[in-house]
Amino acid sequence: QEILLFDSVDSTNNYSKKIAKDAIHGTVVIGEEQTGGRGRLGRNWSSPKGEGIWMSIILKPSIPPTEGMKMTQIAAASVCKAIREAAGVEGYIKWPNDIVVGGKKVCGILTEMAGELNKIDYLIVGIGINVNNQSFPEEFKDIATSLTIEKGKKIDRKTLIACILKEFETLYQHYIDRRTLDETLEIIRLYSAVLGKTVRIIKGEQELKGRVLEINDEGLLKVQLEDGKEELLVSGEVSI
């Protein structure tokens, strides 16, 4: 495995994309700071120097593109377990790809894929964790937090990265060998921030409201809408 560490990089996902073709499977790109960190839905991702873990994992699995989103769930489960074990912070997974503590976001995941209809060339799993931030700009105060704020003391990023990568490797390998997400889903269900809750979901142009019935064996969210109908979601923006 190769780990590339940068003092400053525009975005570890962008850099990973640039090198992906020649990079070996499992390459990890880490930036002390990102000058152009990207979030989902074209948003910016604030990535100040030394305050977080801004990293991407380059993967080259032989799976169809439709299975790509499972990597996001493997990453979410790994981060959630690692912050509990290595940082002692009680994180929950807000399906499909956020980790929250006390309702505020500490981690976001941005998975990007390249390939054709039936074959993935490479997958980039971008993980952003607010670790040592002491405060947030006004506009994020109510929605974002850091591990340090929650724990009340500094968290060692190296230990946490090692723990995340170890978890990721275990869950990823289990999935590749057995083609089941069961170990990942066990964590996702155990630490779910949405199971059984009434949530609002933005799905494309639509806004839905309903109760989360289950996260099925494919990792899809089963919701009972207000009119009683059930809907299975592959992705979406969920608010509790």
- Quick one: 15 or 172, whose CB is closer to ligand BTN? 15
Minimum distance between the CB of residue 231 and ligand BTN, rounded to whole angstroms? 23
Among 68, 126, 219, 236, binds ligand BTN (CB under 6 A): 126
- Quick one: 31 or 210, whose CB is closer to ligand BTN? 31
Q: Which of residues 39-78 bind ligand BTN (CB under 6 A)?
A: 39-40, 43, 45, 47, 54-56
From 74, 43, 76, 60, select the one nearest 2 (Cα to Cα).
60
CA atoms in the 13 A half-sphere facing the CB of 44: 9
- Record the tokens describing residue 35, joined without a space: 């000058």
Residue pair 236/194 in contact by the 8 Å Cβ criterion: no
Q: How far apart are CA 102 and CA 113, in angstroms?
A: 31
- Quick one: 2 or 226, whose CB is closer to ligand BTN? 2
Query: What backbone phi and psi angles, to 5 degrees, belong to 131?
Result: -105, -65
- Record the tokens describing residue 187, joined without a space: 């964590």
Total residues in contact with ligand BTN, by rule CB under 6 A: 21
Among 4, 23, 27, 38, binds ligand BTN (CB under 6 A): 38
Which residues belong to the annotated binding site for biotin? Answer: 11-13, 34, 38-40, 105
Minimum distance between the CB of residue 194 and ligand BTN, rounded to whole angstroms? 15
- Quick one: 47 or 73, whose CB is closer to ligand BTN? 47
> Per CB under 6 A, does 95 bind ligand BTN?
no
Residue with tokens 């190769």: 2
Three-state secondary structure readout of 169-212? HHHHHHHHHHCCCHHHHHHHHHCECCCCCEEEEEECCEEEEEEE
- Quick one: 31 or 179, whose CB is closer to ligand BTN? 31
Q: List contacts with ligand BTN (CB under 6 A).
A: 11-13, 34, 37-40, 43, 45, 47, 54-56, 98, 108-110, 126-128
